[in-house]
Structure 1
Amino acid sequence: MEGHTLKSSLSLSRLPYRIDYAHPQAVTRFTDHLHAAVQQLSPGREIVCVCIGTDRSTGDALGPLVGSKLERLNPKGLTVFGTLDHPVHAVNLRETLQLIELNYQDTTVIGIDACLGQLGSVGSLHLGLGPLKPGTGVNKKLPEVGQLHITGIVNVGGFMEYFVLQNTRLSTVMKMADTIASSLYLTAVRLRSND
């Protein structure tokens, strides 16, 4: 148990954490960091995932794909906003956050979204402390989300962002979503087993 406490105490100081979705131990390592961060931030709280994006753009579908996968896995202690059927995006994000604030006060909120980055970083998953700032890659000013955030770099940024998001490989986005959803699921299971 002492080693577990040490791992937890190191985790927040080691954020942001980054790993490529294709790494053979991506799920295990991402889960370890995520679990330790949630444990240290707010032990005993349930998790609310706000999965931001739209199914109308391949690159921007990362969040809703994660949400739909989590909805199917249905772990106890984890609530999902943002799926392929009911996405959370620029139009309804503020309303969704108000709903969470009213009904899910004693929770850890994790914002999940796709982002664009450098060519060598495509496929990277990032876990960060503090709120997600959605829309910054496409110059939109949207409300910040969560105490923790997860982003996946789905394609190269810097030029014609909307076009780039629409021409992102679905295969890459699906595999990234699998890794994120599995890590969140396993984190929720671990948190429940600690109760």
Structure 2
Amino acid sequence: MSIPSIFFSSREERNRVFYDEQGAASSIAWRISSLLPDPLVQPIAVVCIGTDRSTGDSLGPLVGTILKEKPLARFHVYGTLEEPIHAVNLEEKVGAIQLIHRDPFIIAVDACLGRLKSVGAITVSKGPVRPGAGVNKQLPPVGDAHITGVVNVSGFMEFFVLQNTRLHLVMNMAKTIANGIYEAERHIIRKERAAQPLLKDRHSLW
């Protein structure tokens, strides 16, 4: 679980979308696409952080599990309910990902706690996520960009709050995030295909 959203900047507030808003997945996809390097020459690794042993902190692994069931072509997904990436193995797993992929662009996905009015909000923003900060754990920051979802209220007995978060909410948020990530990849593929005829025309002129 990352740093509580109560500390988010006003800029990050503008990058929020609630999971049950109409077109939420498309909004997430647009935000992800806007953060990716252009042209896209780096492999994209989606690192879903959390544990299946805590309902609130299972947001990341749920996103990873849902994405694994989708026909992704360009995004590489790490962190699922079966093989979670959490506080104990985070550094090891991220190190392994960086060995598998040369200079990957990492999108980190994590749960967080925040204000009551922010529960259900999803933020997509540039820069790393800081796993464990919400529950006072010292873990290295992860990601070139991050997606966080506010699953419950912060401020008191965070571990207890995470354990007693409604699975219904977390599951629906995970579906929205996963659909947004999948749609972002579709955008990239369509953009690449549209650019191919232009490149062929240029080569024919040479």
Q: What TM-score do you get using the length of structure 2 for normalisation?
A: 0.84
Q: Which moved more, 1:71-80 or 1:157-166?
A: 71-80
Partner of 1:25: 23
> 1:46 offset after TM fit, Å?
2.8
Q: How many residues are matched?
A: 182
- Is the partner of 1:91 in helix, strand or coil? coil
Report the AA paired with residue 75 of structure 1.
L
Q: Is the 8 A contact 2:98 2:104 kept in 1?
A: no
Q: What TM-score do you get using the length of structure 1 for normalisation?
A: 0.89
**Unmatched runs of 5 consecutive residues or more in structure 1:** 1-12
Q: Among all aligned residue pairs of Structure 1 and Structure 2, give the percentage whose two residues are the same amino acid.
A: 47
Q: Cα RMSD over matched residues?
A: 1.6
Alpha-carbon separation, structure 1, partners of 2:51 and 2:160: 14
**Equivalent of 2:50, from 35, 50, 53?**
53
Partner of 2:6: none
Alpha-carbon separation, structure 1, partners of 2:42 and 2:185: 10
Q: Is the 8 A contact 1:111 1:145 kept in 2?
A: yes
* 2:77 is the counterpart of 1:77: no
Alpha-carbon separation, structure 2, partners of 1:193 and 1:136: 37
Q: Which moved more, 1:104-113 or 1:163-172?
A: 104-113
> 1:101 offset after TM fit, Å?
1.6
Q: Is the 8 A contact 1:15 1:127 kept in 2?
A: no
Alpha-carbon separation, structure 2, partners of 1:141 and 1:16: 28
Report the AA paired with residue 24 of structure 2.
A
- Is the partner of 2:124 in helix, strand or coil? strand
- Is the partner of 1:158 in helix, strand or coil? coil
Runs of 4+ aligned residues of structure 1 deviating over 3 Å after TM superposition are 13-16
- Note the alpha carbon deviations across 1:142-174, whole angstroms, 9 max, x for none: 111110000000000010000000000111100
- Note the alpha carbon deviations across 1:91-132, whole angstroms, 9 max, x for none: 110001111121212321001000000000000000111011
**Unmatched runs of 5 consecutive residues or more in structure 2:** 1-10, 193-206
